[in-house]
Amino acid sequence: MNQMKVGEFLATLRKEKGLTQAQLGEEIGVTNKTISRWENGNYMPDVEMLLVLSEFFGVTVGEILKGERQTPEEIISSSNETISQVIRNDRFTMNERAKFWKNKWLKENLFSIVLCVIVWLGLFPVCYFFLGDGKTLGGGVVVLMGVIGAGYWRDRMVTYIEKHIYDNTNK
């Protein structure tokens, strides 16, 4: 990114609209000196102002930062490159985020899981004592309950993880 090129591009865009630095400054809420500093390459607009400028001039932020207009193909290519850079530079990979939220879920639900396992294990002696000859049937029912319970808890965990991985608010 070349600040001089960005400044020249902003000046060109302003002149295309037939505005003075003062008029542009008034339109977007900054002083004419700020516009002058941008156009001379002394300063760069901050991120919020880049968005305002891109909307005002009808160009992309990428075009402003490159200091030139781009074809639709170049815009798509630039966007894809930016997305790739963001993904590569992301602090956490998807697997790391999933592992983080899985551990958090396990910590939050550990007591409930342990309690369910204790109750489930307690059903074996009850079935053995009360069913007598039907031990196989009782054991099968207990095992089936265990499988269903494990599936239920796993589903809850996966739902929790996916919600937090893909939900940016993370409330």
Query: Which of 34-38, 67-71, 107-111 is predicted most confidently?
Result: 34-38
- Least confident residue range of 2-6, 66-70, 80-84, 85-89: 85-89
Measured between alpha carbons, how far is 84 from 78 in angstroms, rounded to an integer? 10
Which tops the pLDDT comparison, 38 or 84?
38
**Contact between residue 41 and residue 4 where contact means Cβ atoms under 8 Å apart:** yes
Task: Please compute, for residue 74, the number of CA atoms within 13 A of its CA located in the half-sphere on the CB side.
Answer: 9
**Contact between residue 32 and residue 20 where contact means Cβ atoms under 8 Å apart:** yes
Query: Looking at the domain that runs over 3-89, which CATH code has it been given?
Result: 1.10.260.40
Does the structure show a pLDDT above 90 at 35?
yes
- pLDDT at residue number 161: 86
Which residues make Cβ contacts (< 8 Å) with residue 29, sequence separation at least 6? 52
- pLDDT at residue number 170: 45
- Least confident residue range of 9-18, 90-99, 141-150: 90-99
Which tops the pLDDT comparison, 133 or 116?
116
Confidence of residue 140 (pLDDT cuts 50, 70, 90): confident
DSSP state of 91: S
The domain segmentation of the chain, as residue ranges, is 3-89, 94-166
Confidence of residue 136 (pLDDT cuts 50, 70, 90): low
DSSP string, 1-50: --HHHHHHHHHHHHHHTT--HHHHHHHHTS-HHHHHHHHHTS----HHHH
Name the pTM for this structure.
Answer: 0.48
**Contact between residue 27 and residue 36 where contact means Cβ atoms under 8 Å apart:** no
Task: Please compute, for residue 76, the number of CA atoms within 13 A of its CA located in the half-sphere on the CB side.
Answer: 3
